[in-house]
Structures are given as structure tokens and as C-alpha cells.
């Protein structure tokens, strides 16, 4: 069992937004900003962890991480960006694909049958650094061969 301070790249994870905690952690002493953050919803998102955006340094509480949210539908058309609904890669066991677009296969098997990697859909988030470490030995990941199939 390996304990890491951050989850490893190429794994799938659920992340949770916490606007109030983020505002407090940034040290904003602004009641209006805090009130606004308290009114925002905490949400969970299924994501693919692309790459650590910066090295976690000793004593740091947050680290940037490049992630790709996982879609549960085909993409919406975004003509201005040149995005079409077929710009997705299904994640097996998803069967909603064409012969030209084969699904990627995770290890172990992905637990949901309606998920897609969307092209050009990466974002950078702040991820909390865990001083006592986290376990990701049983986390679902995308093997290198499958990663290259997405490129």
C-alpha cells in the first residue's frame, strides 16, 4: 500500500467543490465575499486526473492539478469553438459509440456505462495536499496504451 500526498495522474476521481472553505483558506476578510461563497452549492464531479500542475512543496496546503471532467452525455455543439457532439471518447462499458470511435478501457473496469472523455475539456483546479497521505491502490486508472488511443 502506497500513500501519496496527491492522487496519481491518469486516475479517475470524484472531486468536491467547497467555495466557503476556499474563500476562508485564501484569507479574505470580506463578509460579502464569504456570504456569496456560503450561498454556492457544494458539488461533486467525476474527473480524470491529467497531471499535477505544480510540485507540492513542504507545508503547502493546496496544489494545482490539471483535470478533465467526465461527461455523461455527448457534447453540446459549440460552433464558435469548432466543437461537435462527436468529439468524445467513450469509456467502456459505454456502448454509445460508432465503429470509428472505440471506447477506452480502464483498469479495473469502469463502474458506469454512460461516460465520455470530452475533447478540449481540461481545467485547472486547486487540490488539497494530504499530509498523512491518501491511498489510491484500488483507484480506477487509464493504462498508457489506452491513453495513447485518446490522442
Q: Which of 44-53, 117-126, 128-137 shows the lowest mean pLDDT across its residues?
A: 128-137
pLDDT category at 61 given cuts 50, 70, 90 is confident
* Residue predicted with more confidence, 80 or 129: 80
* Residue predicted with more confidence, 91 or 97: 91
pLDDT at 47: 97
pLDDT digits (tens, 9 = 90+) for 21-37: 888 888 877 889 989 98
Map grid coordinates 503547502 to a residue: 60
Residue 14 predicted with pLDDT over 90? yes
pLDDT at 127: 86
CA 65 to chain centre: 9
pLDDT at 94: 92
pLDDT category at 1 given cuts 50, 70, 90 is low
Measured between alpha carbons, how far is residue 69 from residues 2, 14, 35, 100, 106 in Å? 25, 10, 27, 23, 16
134's CB contacts (< 8 A; 6+ apart) are 3, 4, 5, 6, 7
* pLDDT above 90 as % of the chain: 51
Tell me the pLDDT of the chain averaged across its residues. Answer: 88
The structure's pTM equals: 0.86
Amino acid at each position: 500500500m502506497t500513500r501519496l500526498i496527491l492522487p496519481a495522474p491518469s486516475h479517475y476521481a470524484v472531486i468536491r467543490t467547497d467555495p466557503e472553505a476556499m474563500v476562508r483558506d485564501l484569507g479574505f476578510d470580506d463578509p460579502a465575499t464569504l456570504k456569496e461563497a456560503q450561498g454556492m452549492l457544494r458539488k461533486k464531479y467525476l474527473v480524470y486526473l491529467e497531471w499535477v500542475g505544480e510540485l507540492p512543496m513542504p507545508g503547502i496546503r493546496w496544489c494545482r492539478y490539471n483535470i478533465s471532467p467526465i461527461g455523461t452525455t455527448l457534447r453540446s455543439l459549440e460552433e464558435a469553438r469548432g466543437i461537435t457532439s462527436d468529439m468524445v471518447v467513450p469509456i467502456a462499458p459505454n456502448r454509445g459509440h460508432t465503429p470509428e470511435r472505440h471506447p477506452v478501457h480502464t483498469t479495473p473496469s469502469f463502474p458506469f456505462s454512460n461516460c465520455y472523455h470530452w475533447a478540449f475539456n481540461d481545467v485547472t483546479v486547486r487540490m488539497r495536499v494530504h499530509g498523512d497521505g491518501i491511498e489510491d491502490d484500488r483507484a480506477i486508472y487509464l493504462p498508457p496504451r489506452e491513453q495513447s488511443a485518446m490522442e
